[in-house]
Structure 1
Amino acid sequence: MTLLPPGAAAPAAPPVPSPWVLSAFWFGTAFHWLLLLTILMPANIIHFVGEEQKGTFLGVMTALGAVMALVVPPLVGAHSDRTGQRLPYLRLGVGVNLAGLVVMGVAAAALPGMAGFWIYLLGFLLVQFGNNYATAPYSALIPQLVPPARRGRYSGVMGMLQAVAQLLGAVTGVAIGQLHLPQALAFGLIALVLLVPALITVRGVAEAQGGAPRAEAPHTSLPWTSLFSHAPFLWVFVTRVLFALGQYSVQPFLQYYTGDVLGQRNTVLSSSVMLACIIVASIVSAIAGGLVSDRVGRKPVIYAAGSTMAVMALLLLAAPSYPAALALAVGFGLGYGAFTSVDWALGSDAMPSAGSYARDMGIWHVAFVAPQFIGAPQGQLLDWGNRQGENFGYTLVFGIAALFFLAGVVLVRKVPETAHSRAA
């Protein structure tokens, strides 16, 4: 208990910022990653290394970025908990992120061949370091500043802004494909949409609000070695890893799929339209999934969502035409949106301690981004399989993705029920 000087009043709890202000940075980073990972990078890799090695190089690059996402958030989050600060990490991380985007844009616009690729890779690693440096302390702001009774609304706003940003990213990808925009302009647009929302959050959240947890939060935290002995955290972490492995088995290669399997000439445009179908459907099902989970519980929604994603991933291999593939993308999006709405709720229920929000949220973040490592072996498997027979590599990659989704569905039953996760 903190002792106050005689006559001194206890400090009032800091005012809670608007959910739109608090979630603004998430909007910018969602736009940033969708446009970068699914639109620009696959096209740039072909520019650097050619068609035959595109899957291998894109997979290796994605895996190297995942190293940053694996190491940086927990370490920075733990340091942020010790200092009691959040916003300085956000400012510095965004600055490094922007510098990395400049390096990537210059390499893509003016440096062809392998020499350009290595510069491009350096820029990408700067982007990954900066974004992950900012993410763990930022992720602690909602559980730290927002009372439990209001967190549902705040996480709902965050989810909606993320989906809208991803839709905007897909539409931007369509514009890039149709108008053949210069690389410098495309990377500049990503930087602008990242910077402006970050400034809104930094300026709208008072520095004092980025400090110690609210008075009602307990300060006891589990040590690193005991964190995964907390069963809810362990099994939610494992199932989230499995669903992310399924996502990253396919997502980096979606642009190649539309060209090689569906025969689309403008792969940037066709993959952007497919992403838009997934995202629009996910917005609808995210709202419905949250409402349904309040009545029937979290797990039934995840069972349905994961099974839907697995089936759609397999059916995409047999899509007879591009319009049919778009219809299947809508089905996949319905499953994905329902999963993400419940996934956040399960994760919030599973947080073991209020005394180490940034560290634990950083580790929680690892469950989603570390599976990017799967990009390297999946990229090699894609290239190897396609050399064995026409588009056989896609059969392997999409089939493995379906298995990951199904494994997540099976293992989510091990997540212990809590007062928050049971049906009302």
Structure 2
Amino acid sequence: MTATQPPVRPPAVTPVSPWALSAFWFGTAFHWLLLLLILMPADVVRFVGEEQKGSYLGALVAVGAVIGLVLPPIIGARSDRSGRRLPYIRLGLAVNLAGLAVMGFAATALAGVGGFWVYVLGFMLVQFGNNYATAPYSALIPQLVAPQQRGRYSGVMAMLQAFGQLLGAVAAFGLGALGLPSWASFALIALFLLVPALVTLRGVPAHLDRVEGAEQAPKLSWAQLFAYAPFFWVFVTRVLFALGQYSVQPFLQYYNADVLRQQDAGTSTSIMLACIIVGSIASALVGGRMSDRVGRKPVIYVAGGLMAAAALLLLVAPGFPAALALAVVFGLGFGAFTSVDWALGSDAMPSAGSYARDMGIWHVAFVAPQLSSAPQGALLDWGNAQGGNLGYTLVFGLAALFFLAGVILVRNVPDRVHERAA
């Protein structure tokens, strides 16, 4: 495996505001938190009942993950060949909004397993459109951001994502308190996805919608890409951190109901998510800026350790207040990790001629672990059937192991990749 980097042509200065460049991430963060962590778990229970909720929710997440696994590299490669990013964002956004409409219709007007399959169809459209848009969108960071500024830009992106998630948690609380119909929640998601997307589309000038000199840049095959050491180890460690996240995240609402014995599990989950997000906001911008000075890996060591410790301690939390304190600790780690994640990934991109394809492949490292939600959901149901909330012990314990493995293996990422790129 080689660590020699092919020639790239990074920009000397960054021509786009970090806030405009990352605005769409704000919208997608709001979108996925409210949809994946609040609406979908509750809707699945209404469709299929309590006894099979873990299996059906895990299967639904896995269906979406298959799309996210296959589509980004394909669309990324097409974007590289066309030399354009923004048209793909526009089309993907339109399909995403159509899928939300189908899910809202199913959740409001249909019931039973038949309604669930219409709901699945809408979710597949959501996943297709969102991945169609975000694969080329992901290429804008390595394409437009100077290497020495990537930590700062990644930190701004992480902070906007955290604010989007916080707003999603607050919106979930408000929607629940007002007792609004399901379609109102999906309409709100659509609005908060559309407006930030328009900010990004207007904030990236048309003349920058193509990396200069991309036609002459080398294009690595898939085998060569994974033989390139920085990319390989960044990919592997991102897989491990995502596995840790998806061992816990889809099942938080059930954890609040079954382990913490919360009467209103949806509201309790929203409060817990708000604590995670407040912690992540506190660490996101600091972590990104610090990584520009001291390197990416030291920040990840601390972040992964905090997330692993919090996942384990949630199993023995004596009550809801203690769980909220641990949620803040987890958020501090998650915010720091997210702030460095995109900078580290951008540093590892080997060639300006295939930014979108390579970022799409790298994005697979985050999406593919969602497939684990199906077996993890089945494991959760099986373990809980044995008694003593064993299922939660198993899935939360696995999360801690994945985080620790990511911390250990990130040591293999060559130091200061971004300096060599510069």
| TM class by smaller structure | over 0.9
- Measured after TM superposition, the shift of residue 144 of structure 1 is 1.9
What is the CA–CA distance in structure 1 between the aligned matches of 2:17 and 2:67, rounded to whole Å? Answer: 31
- Measured after TM superposition, the shift of residue 296 of structure 1 is 3.9
What is the CA–CA distance in structure 2 between the aligned matches of 1:251 and 1:15, rounded to whole Å? Answer: 34
For structure 1, which segment, 198-207 or 261-270, has the greater mean C-alpha deviation from structure 2 after superposition? 198-207
The equivalent of 1:26 in structure 2 is 25
CA spacing shift, 1:400–1:14, aligned 2, 3 Å: closer
- Measured after TM superposition, the shift of residue 25 of structure 1 is 1.3
- Measured after TM superposition, the shift of residue 196 of structure 1 is 1.3
The equivalent of 1:9 in structure 2 is none
Give secondary structure in 2 for the equivalent of 1:115. helix
The equivalent of 2:50 in structure 1 is 51
What is the CA–CA distance in structure 1 between the aligned matches of 2:215 and 2:280, rounded to whole Å? Answer: 33
The 8 Å contact of residues 148 and 418 in structure 2, kept in 1 or not, is answered as no
The equivalent of 1:37 in structure 2 is 36
In the alignment, which of 357, 360, 368 is matched to residue 358 of structure 2?
Answer: 360
TM-score, normalising length from structure 2? 0.93
Q: Which amino acid aligns with 2:307?
A: M
For residues 130-145 of structure 1, the aligned pairs below 5 Å read 130-145=129-144
The equivalent of 1:109 in structure 2 is 108
The 8 Å contact of residues 384 and 392 in structure 2, kept in 1 or not, is answered as yes
Listed one character per residue, the Cα deviations across residues 17-57 of structure 1 (whole Å, up to 9, x for unaligned) are 33322222111111101111101000000010011100000
What is the CA–CA distance in structure 2 between the aligned matches of 1:370 and 1:144, rounded to whole Å? Answer: 24
CA spacing shift, 1:146–1:15, aligned 2, 3 Å: closer
TM-score, normalising length from structure 1? 0.92
What is the CA–CA distance in structure 1 between the aligned matches of 2:334 and 2:153, rounded to whole Å? Answer: 20
CA spacing shift, 1:285–1:219, aligned 2, 3 Å: same
Give secondary structure in 1 for the equivalent of 2:353. coil
The equivalent of 2:280 in structure 1 is 282
Higher Rg of the two aligned structures: 1
The 8 Å contact of residues 154 and 341 in structure 2, kept in 1 or not, is answered as no
Q: Which amino acid aligns with 1:361?
A: M
Q: Which amino acid aligns with 2:33?
A: L
The equivalent of 2:252 in structure 1 is 254
For residues 264-279 of structure 1, the aligned pairs below 5 Å read 264-279=262-277
For residues 172-251 of structure 1, the aligned pairs below 5 Å read 172-211=171-210, 213-215=211-213, 219-251=217-249
- Measured after TM superposition, the shift of residue 112 of structure 1 is 0.8
The 8 Å contact of residues 218 and 355 in structure 1, kept in 2 or not, is answered as yes
- Measured after TM superposition, the shift of residue 201 of structure 1 is 2.0
The equivalent of 1:163 in structure 2 is 162
- Measured after TM superposition, the shift of residue 195 of structure 1 is 0.9
The equivalent of 2:333 in structure 1 is 335
The 8 Å contact of residues 25 and 198 in structure 1, kept in 2 or not, is answered as yes
What is the CA–CA distance in structure 1 between the aligned matches of 2:149 and 2:325, rounded to whole Å? Answer: 36
The 8 Å contact of residues 282 and 332 in structure 2, kept in 1 or not, is answered as yes
The 8 Å contact of residues 346 and 421 in structure 1, kept in 2 or not, is answered as no
What is the CA–CA distance in structure 2 between the aligned matches of 1:87 and 1:216, rounded to whole Å? Answer: 16
The 8 Å contact of residues 244 and 368 in structure 1, kept in 2 or not, is answered as yes
What is the CA–CA distance in structure 2 between the aligned matches of 1:419 and 1:367, rounded to whole Å? Answer: 19
CA spacing shift, 1:290–1:25, aligned 2, 3 Å: closer
Q: Which amino acid aligns with 2:349?
A: M
- Measured after TM superposition, the shift of residue 168 of structure 1 is 0.5
Give secondary structure in 2 for the equivalent of 1:420. helix
The equivalent of 1:377 in structure 2 is 375
Q: Which amino acid aligns with 2:25?
A: W
- Measured after TM superposition, the shift of residue 203 of structure 1 is 2.9
In the alignment, which of 399, 410, 413 is matched to residue 411 of structure 2?
Answer: 413
- Measured after TM superposition, the shift of residue 419 of structure 1 is 5.0
- Measured after TM superposition, the shift of residue 294 of structure 1 is 4.2
The 8 Å contact of residues 14 and 209 in structure 1, kept in 2 or not, is answered as no
* Number of residues of Structure 1 aligned to a counterpart in Structure 2: 409
The equivalent of 2:59 in structure 1 is 60
CA spacing shift, 1:291–1:28, aligned 2, 3 Å: closer
Structure 2 regions of 5+ residues with no counterpart?
1-11
Percent same amino acid at aligned positions? 71
What is the CA–CA distance in structure 1 between the aligned matches of 2:206 and 2:309, rounded to whole Å? Answer: 47
- Measured after TM superposition, the shift of residue 418 of structure 1 is 2.6
What is the CA–CA distance in structure 1 between the aligned matches of 2:197 and 2:292, rounded to whole Å? Answer: 32
The equivalent of 2:395 in structure 1 is 397
The 8 Å contact of residues 298 and 421 in structure 1, kept in 2 or not, is answered as no
- Measured after TM superposition, the shift of residue 260 of structure 1 is 0.5
Listed one character per residue, the Cα deviations across residues 304-345 of structure 1 (whole Å, up to 9, x for unaligned) are 211221111011011111011001111111111121122222
What is the CA–CA distance in structure 2 between the aligned matches of 1:132 and 1:29, rounded to whole Å? Answer: 11
Listed one character per residue, the Cα deviations across residues 90-124 of structure 1 (whole Å, up to 9, x for unaligned) are 11101110010000001001101101100000000
CA spacing shift, 1:405–1:151, aligned 2, 3 Å: closer
Structure 1 regions of 5+ residues with no counterpart?
1-12
Give secondary structure in 2 for the equivalent of 1:417. coil
Give secondary structure in 2 for the equivalent of 1:70. helix
In the alignment, which of 377, 384, 387 is matched to residue 385 of structure 2?
Answer: 387
The equivalent of 2:6 in structure 1 is none
The 8 Å contact of residues 281 and 334 in structure 1, kept in 2 or not, is answered as yes
Q: Which amino acid aligns with 2:413?
A: V
What is the CA–CA distance in structure 2 between the aligned matches of 1:148 and 1:307, rounded to whole Å? Answer: 27
2:118 maps to 1:119: yes
- Measured after TM superposition, the shift of residue 150 of structure 1 is 4.2
The 8 Å contact of residues 89 and 137 in structure 1, kept in 2 or not, is answered as yes
